[in-house]
């Protein structure tokens, strides 16, 4: 704690303990206890510290003429009292000590009470005071206000009547104004400091290296990423100039002096070596719009190349849900995001496995690296090895000239998501196991092993334990993948989230399609929530899109007993015949189940033959 502040508190508390009532005519004013006074000192710390030197200066001006100065808060509670010993002792005898209240309700009319009531400076003498013992004094008091004009304190200078001059009030007003200005300056500096810390925190958490310099290249400020990139220590970088860091410095300087921005590949000279980097440089202007400084943003060439090509878009804040158990799963996913261990995400189709995988990637230290997802069930068996590990030129007939790198090499420094891992052929499972164990891959047609720094997230809608028992999935690979298991519940087990998801999808889909969002009546919402949703969130999203496109609920989708007359939300839509709605519904369901006739028919509660007939009737292309 500040030494001056500590001494003010100690002296004030000591004065409180020396109370002596010497005048029976003293009004019985309120005095706060020591604990409350400590709290007030804490709340008004800045004002007490700021006012203290001004109070000392006032007393020095009138030294020897028997004056004392008081500082109160906005309620009239005395926070500090200093002055000549003789008159100050008299004041203490009258209980005018720190902790005592000088407002009108407690002590009657006096200068401080009037300032509290009016907010204006005043000088009060003799019999103007309510307390008879104060009649021998003249009090000059002025308000102390914050930058919003609110009263936060009162400064008072009191002396014997024959020692006071009209100019005394002017001195007090000048002192209170000075205190106000000093408090404003301190508050401005405090806010400025907070703002600087805020900006510095953001600056240092940016995933790119940032440096600023003057027009001659003298370095001003930089973030931690810049230190890492340039392999320098803080003092070393501060003493450098940009021409010793950027090999193409003269080109950069020329462009900036012309008022142009720059975005190009440059060679960086660091303590370690010279290496290529992507530079974006922009001029910084002053209020007169003169270029005075330059800001440089350096990015790793590899990261610039992969940006947008292999990028994860989803983050945890885009995951919708309020179900308690589901939120625990989200927290668990965040907890394991930074681990290097393999994650196995299990859940039915449409539960959001890739959304979670991308969110985990974006929540980890690998967020700046590539995110590559591969559906193991969508690639022919004979191509999956080349997709994963790449191939050399001439490795097989039709191989691309120069060869090709695989997904694992492309994802170096980032994440590979192996979706539908349960569909991977057994011979490939052996090769994948070796990659996970050794951290190296070998391209087809090559004898050379390549190290890859990749975090693997596998996903499956199958029960892999059961697949292991049936001999369709290797046990050793299962346990190698199942280090950090993450199970996503089906939508039917988090039905309370359905209205929330409908609202979210409705808004985004309506905006994308430039259509009117549809409010679903409660009766229909109940039917929707009681549906078992075999396609989970993906199915729900598609149904919401169907409703927005047709402004009708496909009744038989949820309950065949719903009256068909109540389907349409807007009776003015002549095109919403039952056949039109049925065709749209069939197309949507077939899309959900990727054209699988058996699953689609089962979801709609009709026979396969009936579904085939309807497909033929509506000429639906498969």
pLDDT tens track for 453-477 = 999 999 999 999 999 999 999 999 9
Least confident of 83-87, 111-115, 238-242, 480-484: 238-242
Domain 493-617 maps to which CATH number in 3.10.580.10, 1.10.8.60, 2.60.40.1930, 2.40.10.120? 1.10.8.60
Q: Residues spanned by CATH 1.10.8.60 within the chain?
A: 493-617
Q: What is the mean pLDDT of the chain?
A: 82
pLDDT value at position 570?
43
Q: What is the 3-state secondary structure (H, E, C) of 164-175?
A: CCCHHHHHHHHH
Q: Residues spanned by CATH 3.40.50.300 within the chain?
A: 316-489
What's the whole-number mean pLDDT along residues 239-252? 83
473 close to 429: Cβ distance less than 8 angstroms: yes
User: For residue range 401-459, what is the model confidence (pLDDT) as tens digits?
Assistant: 667 888 998 888 899 999 999 999 998 999 999 999 998 998 888 888 888 899 999 99
Residue 41 has pLDDT above 70, yes or no: yes
Task: Tell me what percent of the residues of the chain surpass a pLDDT of 90.
Answer: 29
Residue 337 has pLDDT above 60, yes or no: yes
- Crossing angle for the helix pair 353-362 and 324-336, to the nearest 10 degrees: 50
User: For residue range 163-198, what is the model confidence (pLDDT) as tens digits?
Assistant: 777 788 999 999 999 999 999 988 888 888 888 888
d(CA 48, CA 73): 9
76 close to 106: Cβ distance less than 8 angstroms: yes
Within 8 A by CB and 6+ apart from 307, the residues are none
Q: Residues spanned by CATH 3.30.450.40 within the chain?
A: 3-188
Nearest to 614 by CA among 363, 604, 480: 604
Residue 606 has pLDDT above 60, yes or no: yes
d(CA 548, CA 512): 11
Please check whether the domain covering 206-299 is classified as CATH 3.30.450.20: yes
Looking at domain 3-188, which CATH architecture does it have?
A: 2-Layer Sandwich (3.30)
HSE, side-chain direction, 13 A CA sphere, residue 420: 12
Q: Residues spanned by CATH 3.30.450.20 within the chain?
A: 206-299
Distance between first and last Cα of the chain: 78
What's the whole-number mean pLDDT along residues 374-388? 86
What's the whole-number mean pLDDT along residues 282-295? 76
Judging by beta carbons within 10 Å of its beta carbon (0-12, 13-18, 19+), is residue 540 exposed, middle or buried?
Answer: buried
pTM of the model: 0.47
pLDDT value at position 343?
96
Which fold would CATH assign to domain 316-489?
Answer: Rossmann fold (3.40.50)
Residue with tokens 């100019």: 167
d(CA 31, CA 95): 8
d(CA 456, CA 419): 11
Residue with tokens 């719009």: 289
609: left (phi over 0), alpha (psi -120 to 50) or beta: alpha
Residue with tokens 């994860």: 312
User: For residue range 509-562, what is the model confidence (pLDDT) as tens digits?
Assistant: 888 888 888 888 777 788 888 888 999 999 999 989 888 888 777 766 665 434
SS3 522: helix
């Amino acid at each position: 704690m500040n030494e001056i502040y500590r001494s003010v508190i100690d002296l004030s508390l000591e004065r409180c303990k020396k109370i002596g009532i010497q005048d029976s005519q003293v009004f019985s004013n309120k005095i706060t206890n020591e604990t409350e006074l400590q709290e007030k000192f804490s709340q008004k710390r800045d004002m007490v510290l700021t006012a203290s030197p001004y109070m000392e200066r006032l007393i020095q001006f009138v030294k020897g003429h028997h004056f004392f100065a008081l500082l109160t808060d906005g309620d009239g509670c005395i926070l500090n009292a200093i002055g000549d010993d003789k008159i100050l002792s008299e004041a203490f005898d009258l209980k005018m000590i720190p902790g005592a209240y000088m407002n009108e309700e407690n002590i009657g009319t006096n200068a401080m009470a009037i300032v509290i009531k009016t907010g204006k400076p005043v000088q009060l003498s003799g019999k103007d005071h309510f307390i008879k013992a104060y009649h021998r004094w003249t009090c000059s008091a002025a308000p102390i206000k914050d930058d919003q004009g609110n009263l936060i304190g009162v400064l008072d200078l009191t002396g014997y009547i024959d020692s006071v001059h009209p100019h005394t009030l002017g001195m007090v007003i000048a002192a209170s104004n000075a205190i106000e200005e000093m408090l404003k300056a301190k508050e401005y500096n405090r806010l400025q400091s907070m703002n600087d810390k805020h900006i510095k925190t953001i600056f240092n958490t940016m995933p790119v290296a940032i440096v600023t310099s003057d027009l001659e290249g003298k370095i001003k400020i930089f973030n931690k990423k810049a230190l890492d990139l340039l392999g320098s220590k803080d003092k070393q970088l501060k003493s450098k100039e940009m021409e010793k860091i950027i090999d193409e410095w003269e080109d950069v300087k020329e462009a900036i002096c012309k008022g142009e921005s720059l975005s190009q590949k440059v060679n960086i000279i660091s303590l370690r070596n010279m290496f290529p980097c992507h530079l974006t440089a922009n001029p910084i202007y002053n209020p007169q719009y003169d270029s005075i400084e330059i800001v440089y943003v350096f990015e790793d060439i590899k990261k610039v190349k992969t940006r947008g090509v292999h990028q994860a878009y989803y983050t945890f804040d885009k995951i919708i849900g309020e179900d308690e158990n589901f939120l625990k799963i989200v927290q668990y996913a965040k907890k394991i995001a930074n681990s290097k261990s393999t994650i196995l995400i299990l859940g039915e189709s449409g539960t959001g496995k890739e959304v979670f995988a991308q969110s985990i990637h974006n929540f980890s230290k690998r967020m700046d690296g590539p995110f590559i997802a591969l559906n193991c069930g969508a690639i022919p068996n004979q191509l999956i090895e080349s997709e994963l590990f790449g191939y050399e030129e001439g490795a097989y007939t039709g191989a691309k000239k120069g060869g090709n790198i695989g997904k694992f090499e492309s994802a170096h420094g980032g994440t590979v998501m192996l979706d539908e891992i349960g569909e991977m052929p057994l011979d490939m499972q052996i090769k994948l196991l070796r990659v996970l164990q050794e951290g190296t891959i070998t391209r087809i047609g090559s004898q050379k092993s390549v190290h890859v720094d990749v975090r693997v997230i596998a996903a499956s809608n199958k029960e892999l334990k059961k697949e292991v028992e049936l001999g369709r999935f290797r046990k050793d690979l299962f346990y190698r993948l199942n280090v950090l298991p993450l199970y996503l519940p089906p939508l039917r087990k988090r039905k309370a989230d359905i209205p929330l998801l409908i609202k979210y999808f409705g808004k985004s889909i309506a905006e994308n399609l430039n259509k009117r969002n549809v409010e679903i009546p409660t009766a229909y919402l109940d039917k929707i929530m009681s549906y078992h949703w075999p396609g989970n969130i993906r199915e729900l999203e598609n149904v919401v899109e169907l409703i927005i496109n047709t402004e009708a609920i496909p009744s038989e989708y949820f309950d065949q007993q719903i009256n068909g007359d109540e389907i349409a939300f807007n009776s003015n839509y002549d095109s919403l015949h039952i056949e039109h709605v049925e065709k749209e519904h069939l197309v949507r369901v077939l899309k959900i189940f990727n054209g699988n006739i058996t699953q689609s028919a089962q979801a709609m509660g009709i026979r396969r033959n009936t579904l085939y007939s309807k497909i033929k009737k509506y000429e639906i292309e498969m």
